């Protein structure tokens, strides 16, 4: 029986356009890796296969600039659908980013690839949960437009795994830790406790995902003789573009491996948004907006 190479298999899944097949494939790949019978790892090879500048994705949703996304109250059915769709799109892109972290970067310890394959599998489950909630509201993924900010961040950090670990999981994806409490409250206030429960479950696992980013960021800093707090403070402006939204979820970020020094650097950059309403898609779905680029 021919064994597959893990990073090559991750690249094949990254190119898959159908979300259901991509997520099913990720879960099967993670199970095959756990079994230890069907896969091997070539950590030293450069990114296997053709270059991937754009991952596989379906024809829908159409991708538009973030400012063109509609703002609706989460207290309405249409608003809840829009928020679930935005969050589902984030989780789908999180699958892509985790696969890319496995495929793109050579020369790292085996545990690095195992960690990010596990993240990809978790994100695939999260995406399926949110698709189920969309179906419960009579909608589906692809019904509404979305934006491409997360993948643009992947391309911006494609040349250096240290930058990827610092800026994608620890700035952009960590934003989800900050906004999840308000998202959960918005769904509860809007009469959708089932979706609130899904977001609670996702939050618990996302803390672990950001912690993986923290662990490998610190590992790479150690390998290069860098002070991780200073390195992170220097890199933040590249992702934050001069401002971050508050408040920061200090407890979740500490659990995800942030130091007090790093939180202080982030807090110094936080800008509040006057007039933002917790019931609007832009505010309650700040994760979708803040993860844009």
Q: What is the C-alpha to C-alpha distance for residues 173 and 151, in angstroms, rounded to an integer? A: 12
Q: What is the pLDDT of residue 75?
A: 80
DSSP 44: T
145: helix, strand or coil: coil
pLDDT mean values, one per 10 residues, the chain (293 residues): 87 97 98 90 94 94 82 83 95 97 98 98 98 97 90 91 95 92 93 96 97 98 97 82 75 97 88 38 39 33
Q: What is the C-alpha to C-alpha distance for residues 70 and 52, in angstroms, rounded to an integer? A: 30
Q: What is the pLDDT of residue 282?
A: 36
276: helix, strand or coil: coil
Domains of the chain: 4-41+72-290 (1.20.1260)
36: helix, strand or coil: coil
């Amino acid at each position: 029986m021919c064994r597959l190479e893990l990073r090559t298999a991750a690249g094949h899944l990254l190119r898959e356009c159908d979300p259901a097949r991509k997520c099913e494939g990720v879960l099967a790949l993670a199970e095959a890796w756990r079994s230890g019978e069907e896969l091997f790892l070539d950590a030293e090879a450069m990114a296997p296969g053709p270059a991937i500048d754009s991952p596989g994705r379906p024809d829908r949703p159409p991708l538009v600039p973030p400012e063109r996304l509609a703002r609706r109250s989460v207290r309405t059915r249409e608003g809840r659908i829009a928020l679930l769709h935005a969050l589902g799109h984030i989780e789908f892109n999180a699958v892509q980013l985790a696969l890319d972290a496995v495929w793109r970067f050579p020369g790292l310890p085996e545990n690095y690839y195992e960690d990010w394959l596990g993240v990809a599998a978790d994100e695939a489950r999260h995406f399926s949960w949110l698709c189920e909630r969309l179906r419960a509201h009579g909608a589906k993924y692809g019904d509404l437009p979305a934006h491409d900010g997360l993948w643009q961040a992947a391309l911006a950090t494609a040349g250096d795994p240290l930058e990827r670990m610092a800026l994608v999981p620890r700035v952009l994806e960590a934003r989800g830790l900050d906004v999840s409490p308000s998202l959960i409250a918005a769904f509860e206030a809007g009469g959708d406790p089932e979706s609130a429960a899904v977001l609670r479950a996702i939050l618990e696992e996302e803390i672990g995902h950001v912690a993986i980013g923290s662990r490998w960021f610190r590992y790479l800093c150690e390998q290069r003789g860098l002070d991780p707090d200073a390195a992170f403070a220097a890199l933040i402006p590249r992702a934050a573009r001069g401002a971050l939204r508050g408040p920061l979820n200090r407890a979740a970020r500490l659990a995800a491996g942030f130091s007090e020094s790093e939180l202080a650097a982030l807090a110094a950059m936080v800008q509040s948004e006057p007039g933002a309403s917790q019931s609007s898609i832009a505010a309650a779905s700040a994760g979708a907006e803040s993860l844009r680029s």
